[in-house]
Structure 1
Amino acid sequence: MRITALRATPVAVPYRTDEVWAFGRRAGLVSVLLEMETDEGVTGLGEAAAYPSADVVLSVLRGLEPLVVGADPLRVEALIQRIDVVGTWHHVGHSSPAIAAVETACWDILGKVSGQPLVNLFGGRFRDRVEYFHYVAAASPEGVRDEGRRAAEAGARVCYLKIGADELATDIDRVAALREGAGPEMGVRVDPNEAWSPGAALRALRALREYDLELVEQPVSGRNLPEMAYVRGRSDVPLLANEASWTRADQLAVLQHGAADAISVDHQMDGGLLNMKRSAGMCAAAGLPVVKHSLGELGVALAAGLHVIAATPNFRCANQAYGALLTDDVVIGAFGGPAANYRDGCLEVPDGPGLGVTLDADKVARYAELYRSGAAEYTFHDPEALRTAPALPKR
């Protein structure tokens, strides 16, 4: 079997409410869908988050074509080594989501050819359902309180809230409102996205301690691991590394510095599903749980990560997905993005061969046109944030 073509389609899917973080907002997400064609008529699916933009992803995919077209998609390790070593793409970063999409498509083909769901190829089911948190968009305290109630009524066990506002009082009000709305049993995870200096982080953690936070994600710069370790050593609120832990090399450094209580991993940020499985194994050896991170993904990439999580023991915490925000998805059937497809915050592992998902051609066409006509609305290039000239850290 040989790869004959890569077909990439950027799509934009709206949110039901804006995603807001410490430095901007977006009204939906952009992903690049990949269809890998072969000379035997088997097509593999992949997906790349538009990080840092769809144009970059599409450019990387064009650059990968000479290395990929003509290769055997069943020899996944050999193909990725060709990309990394011969093509010199091993310095993962902005190129990583596109490489991950290629690798995912190969795994989808391998699963289809062997008649096995991907979870079986990554070690078999350790769990039948995978838990995800309920994404609560930053809003007024009243809006956050209402979303917390919505999450509890849907059966979610963990809520995730973006914080890192200009004033600590704003963050405190939002977290208090979430706790009130979601109830005392709900896990509450917050993410300042590196908005704080170490001193500001400790002050914030002390102020938020009464709300029984499950995890605080990346409170300080991910590029200063001694300061992360400093904060961790002076607070009993568990820290989750994210911007500090996008690749296996980054994760090793976090472990060496003792800078986090849990590690965020993401196949799109580190070149593929095999590397995410390796990340989890490395963290397991250090005695730490891992959490699946998402840059914003639709049903194809969601399914890919789901299979690996289901086969890997130390994904013990609720993982990141966008079902609570998305209005729609691009895959056929109940599996995919909208929150209605989750049961008690969990998704069932697909049991079809490969990824177990199929693209909905009509929806792909609809959201490809939406990308062509209005992609700017679905990026983080928030005009208000641009006018305020934000900088890291905020305080």
Structure 2
Amino acid sequence: MKITAVEAIPYAIDYRKPLKFASGEVRTAEHVLVRVHTDDGVVGTADAPPRPFTYGETQASVIAAVTGIFAPSITGLSVLERETVRSRLHRTVGNPVAKSAVDMALWDALGRTLGVSVSELLGGFTDRLRVSHMVGFAPAEQMVAAAEQMRDEHGVTAFKVKVGRRPWKQDTDAVRALRTALGDDVELYVDGNRGWTPSEAAQALRAMDDLDLSMAEELCPADDVLGRRWLTAQASIPQFADESATTPAEVARELLDGAATGISIKTARTGFTVSQRVLGLCEGLGVEVVMGNQIDTQVGTVATAAFGAAHELTSRRPAELSNYLDMSDDLLAEPLVIADGHLKVRQGPGLGTDVDEQKLSHYRQDH
């Protein structure tokens, strides 16, 4: 059960179309597949999706951190020594995606070694999650068409709408068009990716006050300290922190400062070990959470679903699990299926992330 090697394999897969939002856009998933090998022949796998415009990590930096810093520090440890691994990973500042992939690959290896699913190891609360789909920037009629397609083909009835453009009216008009087209039975919420000032966000929320939004996420930057408090204090819907709350300490700061009333948990940036700490903090403070998406592949989506389904609090809200549908291809040997608006958690040992080795060979970039 001892770790013998840690791999970092760069690969790239194009999206079907550019995904656009306030903090940037992505055309290609330039990710890193992380594998933890053990002395009994078990291999744990996880995906690292670098987001340079959010966390400052790149494909190259993830590889450097994993192979140059993390692998030497944890090789020789048992897969049961998760706290020791966490301590050694967190000696290094930043690099959340690189750390998280190593952590999740370790959990996958542990589950495979014990012959149980990671979701069961984490808590095993349910076997499926309701799905929310992200609708990115586009003309309003295209955003409506994308949402209608997800509803009709996959039964999805919850949508995160990307906002944060200037002028803000184009976003509020798009959200209104979605509400009109989809009706009152569909859940809508907005995500600004730090694109607005607090005053712009307040104006936009007032303009959408009659649209029955369930929440708003990261409408303005974390650095707008007083502005975020002011906005949250007057807002009529919950304000969720995402990019501003990437560690338990940041979560505590945002909540106790009054800058947010809910938290987005993303396993891609906090893995399973730190995500449990974030979840426990939110439970203790009576704060709602949502399982977020880092434009994940199917491999990454499996991890999000495993954590979200493992706990009661994370299973209450629709989880953002469908962005892999925007990719032109994927590495997972057996594709995920969203049906009746839900995604089932993979059963079997570990995370169930069986990679198609031929596809990995085709898309990897380190030949």
TM over 0.5: yes
Q: Distance in 1 between matches of 2:345 and 2:35?
A: 22
Q: Which portions of structure 1, spanning 4 or more consecutive aligned residues, are displaced by more than 4 angstroms? A: none
TM-score, length of structure 2 as denominator length: 0.92
| TM-aligned CA distance change 1:185 to 1:318, over 3 Å | same
1:95-110 equivalent positions in 2, closer than 5 A: 95-110=95-110
- C-alpha distance 246-82 of structure 1, shift in aligned 2 (>3 A): closer
Question: After the TM superposition, which residues 373-392 of structure 1 pair with which residues of structure 2 at under 5 Å, given as runs?
Answer: none
Letter in 2 for 1:76: R
Against the structure 1 CA distance between its residues 58 and 209, is the aligned structure 2 distance closer, same or farther, given a 3 Å change threshold?
same
Deviations 1:333-388, CA, capped at 9 Å, x for gaps: 132xxxxx21133211111111122001122122225x98xxxxxxxxxxxxxxxx
User: Shift in Å at residue 69 of structure 1?
Assistant: 2.0
Structure 2 CA distance for aligned equivalents of residues 20 and 83 of structure 1: 32
Residues 227, 294 of structure 1: alpha-carbon distance in 2 compared, 3 angstrom cutoff? same
Amino acid aligned to 2:302 = A
Contact 2:298–2:335, Cα closer than 8 Å, also in 1: no
Counterpart of 1:214 in 2: which secondary structure?
A: coil
Q: Residue 59 of structure 1: CA displacement?
A: 0.9
Q: Provide, for residues 80-112 of structure 1, a one-character-per-residue CA deviation record: whole Å limited to 9, x for no partner.
A: 22333xxx22x3x2x121111111111111111
Aligned to 1:384: none
The 1:183/1:363 distance shift into structure 2, 3 A limit, reads: farther
SS at match of 1:130: strand
Contact 1:273 1:305 in 2 (8 A): no
Displacement, 1:225? Answer: 4.0
Q: Which residue does 1:328 correspond to in 2?
A: 329
Asked whether the 8 Å contact 2:298–2:330 carries over to 1, the reply is yes
Q: What's 1:6 paired with?
A: 6
Q: Report the Cα offset of residue 56 of structure 1.
A: 0.9
Matched, 1:74 2:80: yes
Residue in 1 that maps onto 2:242: 242
CA distance in 2, matches of 1:227, 1:309: 31
1:334 counterpart letter in structure 2: P
3-state SS of paired residue (2:214)? strand
Q: Which runs of 5+ in 2 are unaligned?
A: 52-56
* 1:58 and 2:63 correspond: yes
In the alignment, the residues of structure 2 paired with residue 106 and residue 39 of structure 1 have an alpha-carbon distance, to the nearest angstrom, of 13
Instruction: Indicate conservation of the 8 Å contact 1:108/1:118, yes or no.
Output: yes
CA–CA separation in structure 2 for the residues paired with 1:119 and 1:159? 25
* 2:287 matches 1:282: no
- Residues 150-229 of structure 1 correspond to what in structure 2 (within 5 A)? 150-153=149-152, 154-229=154-229
Q: Is the CA contact 1:229–1:258 (under 8 Å) kept in the aligned structure 2?
A: yes
Q: Equivalent residue for 2:54?
A: none
Distance 1:183 1:117, change over 3 A: same
**Where do 1:332-351 residues align within 5 Å?**
332-335=333-336, 341-351=337-347
* Secondary structure, counterpart of 1:77 in structure 2: helix
Kept in 2, the 8 Å contact 1:157–1:344? The answer is no
Query: Residue 275 of structure 1 aligns to which amino acid in structure 2?
Result: V
Q: Which position in structure 2 is the counterpart of 1:381?
A: none
Take 1:152 and 1:298, find their aligned partners in 2: how far apart are those partners?
Answer: 21
Unaligned runs of 5+ in 1: 336-340, 373-395
One-letter amino acid of the counterpart of residue 54, structure 1? Q
For 1:366, give the aligned amino acid: H
Q: For 1:72 and 1:331, locate their aligned partners in 2 and report how far apart those are by CA, in whole Å.
A: 27
Which residue is 1:296 aligned to?
A: 295
Which residue does the alignment assign to 1:377? Answer: none
Q: What do residues 235-275 of structure 1 show as CA deviations (whole Å, max 9, x unaligned)? A: 202211112211111101122123223211223323x2011
CA distance, structure 2, for counterparts of residue 20 and residue 368 of structure 1: 25
Matches within 5 A, 1:140-159: 140-153=139-152, 154-159=154-159
1:222 partner letter: A
- Given that 1:34 and 1:101 are in contact with CA atoms closer than 8 Å, whether structure 2 keeps it comes out as yes
| 1:23 CA displacement | 4.0
Aligned residues: 358
Instruction: Look up the SS of the partner of 2:282 in the other structure.
Output: helix
Aligned twin of 1:254: 254
Paired amino acid for 1:15: Y
C-alpha contact 1:17 1:137 (8 A) present in aligned 2: no
Q: Supply the distance in 1 between the matched residues of 2:213 and 2:74 (Cα, whole angstroms).
A: 45
CA contact (8 A) 1:161 1:189 kept: yes
TM-score w.r.t. structure 1 length? 0.86
Q: Deviations over 1:118-146 (max 9, x none)?
A: 112112x2222112311212111111121
Code of the aligned partner of 1:237? I
